[in-house]
Amino acid sequence: MGFLLFLVILVAAWQSCYWIGVDLLGLWKPYAMPSPVGVAQSFLQLCEDGELFQATANSLLRGISGYVIAVIIGVALGLLINRSRYLQKNLKPLVLGIQTLPSVCWVPFSILWFGLSTQAILFVVVMGAAFSIAISVDNAIKNVQPIYTKAALTLGATKKQLYLHVILPACLPELVTGMKQGWSFAWRALMAGEVMTTSIGLGQTLIMGRDLADINQVMLVMLVIVLVGIIIDKCIFSVAEQRILKKRGLTGGN
């Protein structure tokens, strides 16, 4: 209830700023300042022809597909780095450096290699998230208390048993956090890929709003992007974190 009240106050303050700045004082042009009423009108307009739902569905499908591929690559790369001192010393700094690249830097490569296609968008998503996941996997394993592995090896655990029954459960909370961060990178990279292509998606809808000088449509798409990110986090990653913490007795049942 408190959160809903906060949103109502926020929207009311936003609309008031629009009325004062645009209608009363003329500080901004109507086409340069979005308003809640204008955003609502854009929402209804895009919903009537189904464009918003189609764009959101397409973006979600691409984002999840690219994220799954990034998880597979990132986990494999993270395990390789963790198990090899040579790769830890030489490859990890390179991975850290590549991770600092903005996702938009991969767009020219994707277009040249794959053209204006879905594969090009997936490539940007994978490159934007895989290296972050690899770093998270390596750090999560390294932060496991050495006493756990020593005790398991003393009891005769094999390498497979060590990873499945000791290291994985011990690093799971940090691993989930890394996966959540990887999703945020993937979702942002998806938008960078979509705005450079002609495929229907939230990114392309955002660019269409810019081309039409429709600031309300631009704002609407931005809000949808944020909302989808929040829903994914609350429904998947936060639930997984809470279950892990509850199972380990680190949080209450509420």
The domain that contains 180 carries what CATH number? Answer: 1.10.3720.10
Number of domains in the chain: 1
pLDDT band at residue 253, thresholds of 50, 70 and 90? Answer: very low
Task: Tell me the angle at which helices 202-211 and 168-194 cross, rounded to the nearest 10 degrees.
Answer: 30
CA pair distance 55, 22, nearest whole angstrom: 31
Assigned domain for 44 exists: no
As a whole-number percent, the residues of the chain with pLDDT over 90 amount to 11
Please report the pLDDT score of residue 35 as a whole number: 83
Tens digits of per-residue pLDDT, 146-200? Answer: 787 778 777 777 777 777 777 787 888 888 888 888 898 998 888 888 877 777 8
* Owning domain of residue 89: 65-247
Give the burial class of 193: count Cβ atoms within 10 A of its Cβ; 0-12 exposed, 13-18 middle, 19 or more buried.
buried
Tokens 């040579």 map to which residue?
Answer: 86
Assigned domain for 21 exists: no
Sign of the four-CA dihedral 245, 231, 12, 10:
positive
- pLDDT over 60 at 252, yes or no: no
Distance of CA 121 to the CA centre of its chain: 14
Assigned domain for 50 exists: no
Assigned domain for 4 exists: no
Tens digits of per-residue pLDDT, 58-108? Answer: 889 999 999 999 999 999 999 899 888 888 888 888 888 888 888 888 888
